[in-house]
Structures are given as C-alpha cells and as structure tokens.
Amino acid sequence: MSEVTAKGKAAKKASYQLIGLSTEKKNEALGKIAKQLIIDKDFLIKENQKDLEDGRKKGLSESILDRIMLNVNRIDDMAAAIMLLIELNDPIGERLETIEKENGLLIKKQRVPIGVIGMIYEARPNVTIDAATLSLKTGNAVILRGSSSAKYSNIALVSSIHKALENTEIPVEAVQLIEDTSRETAKELFHLNEYLDVLIPRGGKNLIETVIKESTVPVLETGAGNCHIFIDQTADITMVEKIVLNGKTQRPSVCNAIEGLLIHEKWFEENGVRILELLDEKGIELYGDEAVCSSFPRAKTATEEDWSTEYLALKLSVKTVKGVSDAIDHINRYGSKHSEAILTMDEQNAHTFLNKVDAAAVYHNASTRFTDGFEFGYGAEIGISTQKLHARGPMGLPALTSSKYFIYGQGQIRE
C-alpha cells in the first residue's frame, strides 16, 4: 500500500472518530497545539533553515523565500491565530433550517463536518498549521501535501501537532502529512476519491489549474491574485499614495497585493508622474501603456502577458483608462476574481464598480491587503476562494462544513 493510500485510509478512520466530539475537547486540543509550537520554536526555526538553505541553492526568488521563512514572530503569530480560533464559535451542529410538516414530521438542517479534507499547497509552511487547526475545529480530518521547498518545515510542524494531540481526544491520524513531495504522490492524491471528500489547492496559477484539470476528487478552488486598484478622476491624491503603496509594497509576495494599477486619464494628466515617481522610488519596476511610458521613460512597455501576470514581486503594470466602465472591462478580462479596489469620491462610480467587477472581494477607498481570514474575523483561513459555488472569498470555519438533514417522526409513512 502506498504512503498516500495508507494515510488516506487512516484519515478516513479518524474522521469518523471526530464525529460528535465536543467543542470543549476540540478547543483543548487546539490550545495544546498552540503551546507546543512555542515549546518547539527553536526546533522549528532550525528545520526551516534547511529549507531556506536548499531554496537559495536552487535559486528561489526572495519573494518565495519570504513565504517559506519561519522566525520567532511568525511562529508566535501562528500560535496567536490558533488561540483566536479557539474563541470563535464552532459551526458544527448549527441549525440552518427547521421545517415542521403537517403530518408531524420534523426536519432539521444542520452543519456537519465535510469528512476528510485534502490540502495541496506551495511554499508557505504556515498553511500546514492553518489547514490542520481549521480542519480540527470543524471536526474534519486532513491530509496535507506541501511542496519540496518547505519539506523540512512541514515535517517539523506536523511533528509538533502530533505531540500536542497525543494526550487529547483527537486521534493523531486526524492530521496526516504526505512527506514524499514527488509529482506521483500529487497525482495519487488527485484520485483518492475513496478517502478524500474535497481537495483544496493553495498556491500559484499553475498548481491550481493542474489540480482543477486532473483531480477526480471534488475541488474547492482557491485562486491566484492578479489584483488591481483603479484610481478614478475624483480620487484624493493623499489617499491614493497611501493605499497604492500599501497595496504593492507592504508584502509583495502575497496574493492580495496589487499587480495592476488603472488610472483615469484625467487624473493621470494632473498626478500621474507624481505617483509613478513615488512607486519608482520604492524600487518598483513599472510596466506601462503608451501614455505611461511617454510620461515616465523609466517604465517598460507592457505586453499582453503583463496585464494578466501575478508578479508576487516589486513589479506593477500601469494603464490609463477613460473611466469606470473601461476599468471594469479591463479587470473582468485580466483579473483573477480575487480582490479589486476603486479609489474615488464619486459614490455612483463606486457603486457601479463594486457591483459590476467580478471578484470575491471589492473595495472602495481601502487597500486590497485586507482580504484575509484574520482581518475578516475568521482567525486562520484555509485559503481564498475565487469560485462561486460553496464558498467565496476568505474561507474560515463555515467553509469547511457541509449540511445534513435530520428527520424525526412518529411512524409516518408516505401515501
């Protein structure tokens, strides 16, 4: 029996043991995981250094290395996120609907665990903790398959989780890590229908598209982040400077950072060079249309590919547009349906933009960097869904549940 099949079988068995486990027991286990991360901090950082050293030898970019890196603050943040998760309401057992039939049948629709969740992801070892703890809080078992770039970090983190679970009501097998990061194990996971109830990819565009195309297990799609800010004609220059810089530079390697800047041509005539100079001063490579390159020679000419690229680095495509409709058309053509923002003092334009842009999260006069489970009050997140079925946007606890009908009778039969 292969590693994937063996761990799938063990996870399925564990998922049945999780059914009916009280919120108190689940929270107790989560608290022990948070404490164990702090206890194992030095070991986790040591193992993470192996991944960083391997990554540098392989020539990984600084943005990817930043995603992989664990330090004292990041481990503290992971533990803090778990403690916040403990405080959140447990959705399992929540009554969604009650129907009382004339014949006396009582029908109750309630939230229940999905069962076994498969998680395939790249680079970020914090996803290991997010996926495991969110799954356990909702009574799900989870099979994790990270990338080779964070192999040592993921093994160490799951080791900490297992140590924490040893003295709890939750079986250790409820959290499984596929340690073999070869393509073969990924493909096997794609077809593990006997044991997996859903597969969630989290990573770059290529990974997500591969999972969607090849998996026979139902996929809960998370999307890449080709996000934009549209500067409308009435946008306040001070607000623009603050929000655009935050959206691009606060953490360029994440999916809710902006990759495209659309500027109303009238606003550009008055303020365009100023904002481009500001971006250039921050070390951002600019790729622009003809108007941008004519006004700012340091900008490179944007190609068709640039408009749809998720750079995850200090690079930004910049285009002038005639107005809100032009901006919406561009975003709906090239965007990844993740997060989009309009900066404007015109309420009607804001209303039009927010309603007509096809994205999971839309912003008026605020940075796209807020599209995050923690910022939305969900604690840790399993990912940000850009699809429209089951879940959309940052996915917290409710996204990891299904529903079930409980029907109570007193001998009724259907005539």
Token pair 């290991």 in the structure block, residue: 128
Q: How far apart are CA 308 and CA 333, in angstroms?
A: 9
What is the 8-class DSSP label of residue 60? -
What CA dihedral angle connects 244, 329, 359 and 143, to 10 degrees? Answer: -100
pLDDT tens-digit profile of 340-388? 999 999 999 999 999 999 999 999 999 999 998 878 877 667 889 988 8
Residue 176 has pLDDT above 80, yes or no: yes
Question: So what's the pLDDT on residue 203?
Answer: 83
pLDDT digits over 250-268, tens only?
999 889 999 999 999 999 9
Burial 58-70 (b: 16+ CB within 10 A, else e): eebeebbbbbbbb
Q: Which two tokens stand for residue 341?
A: 């923002």
Q: What is the pLDDT of residue 1?
A: 87
- For the chain, give the percent of residues with pLDDT over 70: 100
> What is the rounded end-to-end Cα distance, in angstroms, of the chain?
50
Tell me if 232 sits within 8 A of 342, measured CB to CB.
Answer: yes
Q: Is the pLDDT of residue 104 over 90?
A: yes
Residue 205 has pLDDT above 90, yes or no: no
Residue showing tokens 């996204």: 399
CA-CA distance, 288 to 267, in Å (whole number)? 16
Name the DSSP letter for residue 49: H
Q: Measured between alpha carbons, how far is 113 from 135 in angstroms, rounded to an integer?
A: 9
Highest mean pLDDT among 44-48, 199-203, 248-252: 44-48
**φ, ψ (nearest 5 deg) of residue 305:** -65, -35
Write out pLDDT tens, residues 209-237: 899 999 999 999 887 899 999 999 999 99
**pLDDT tens digits along 288-334:** 999 999 999 999 999 999 999 999 899 999 999 999 999 999 999 99
Q: CB–CB of 303/192 below 8 Å?
A: no
DSSP annotation string for 341-408: EEE-S-HHHHHHHHHHS-SSEEEESS-GGG-STTTTT-SS-S-EE-SSSS--EE--GGGGEEEEEEEE
